[in-house]
Copies of this chain bind each other. A is one copy, B any other.
């Protein structure tokens, strides 16, 4: 490989004085026919490709072709409306597309994102920021006496929140490796809620997204452990003073005392994905008098049938007649068997629930769909 001298093109971005001169390559470009073109300038590279979740289940690798001007390019086939994630592979190494400053972090990995939308009634439109009233998104520190910690949560307040009118609350829980930023960033909660509320499809509500890792205070970089590399296993329940479920009422009490909530069972819902689905399952058994709507999304919902308390808790939960017990999972999800066992148990007992099954696996694409569906089912 001939080393190409690009020093003259290097961008320095450390201040406004140092704005670079490098010619812009646009990437990605969403084309009118629903295809998407990626462009990347690297005259010296031998092989460049785009890896993205353009298909339902697996990530897809699209080899790029080098043009005479040193710009590598590839155009996808028509893409369905969706929020897509991708990265570049340059001579075998994974990089972020330097032309796209929109990224999401999943655990420790950054990926570029873009949205495909073809109209005003598809998923892409729902995940976009549209010209509608917007809610407020806050990173809030609260006291958890049970965990002996100050902890961080994300709070979405609906556009009509004015400090006077009271609103119902959805508690929205992340999965293993996630944190209080996951639902807002990867899950597009602000956009989904703004759009559903604007269209009259969801009731205006407060959405509370706590951190579900009881051995840390906040997302990586936002507490005093510094800028460590999250690996998804560092902050689980081992060594915690209490579990997420056991400490959960600290969150509810804080929210009811700091926001204009309707502090009643019929105005509280709890839902979560994967580990957060497991938390939802536990919370439903511990506090059936507190919540009226439950959503288990791709839930790590392990039944503890050898624990004598389990049957008693389940009986008490369903004797309380929750308005909704919702289980959602994708056909390819690795937790399908666990969820099938749970449904079989509920069927045997005659405990009523709603079930939603769709394509795909244990991925954010599905959790955005589940949030969208659940948000429309509650507080009505």
Interface residues of A (CB under 8 A from B): 1, 3-7, 9-20, 24, 26, 41-42, 44-47, 51, 53, 59, 85, 87, 89-96, 98-103, 105-111, 113-115, 128-131, 133-141, 150, 152, 159, 163, 175-177, 220-224, 226-227, 229-232, 258, 274, 333-334, 361-365
Contacts and interface: CB of A to CB of B under 8 A. Distances in A.
A198 to B, nearest CB: 12
Which secondary structure characterizes the binding site on chain A?
A: loop
B24 A334 contact: no
A110 B220 CA distance: 18
Given A3-B91, A16-B176, A114-B227, 17 more contacts: A3-B47, A7-B92, A10-B94, A13-B109, A13-B111, A14-B365, A15-B364, A16-B363, A18-B59, A19-B107, A42-B91, A90-B90, A95-B95, A96-B110, A100-B229, A115-B227, A131-B224
- Which of the listed residues A109, A231, A232 has the most CB atoms from chain B within 10 Å of its own CB? A109
What is the copy number of this chain in the assembly? 2
Contact of A4 (B92, B133, B221): B92
Contacts of A20: 109
A308 B6 CA distance: 51
Nearest to A15: B363
B226 A128 contact: yes
Contacts of A47: 3
Contact of A44 (B91, B111, B224, B226): B91
A13 B85 contact: yes
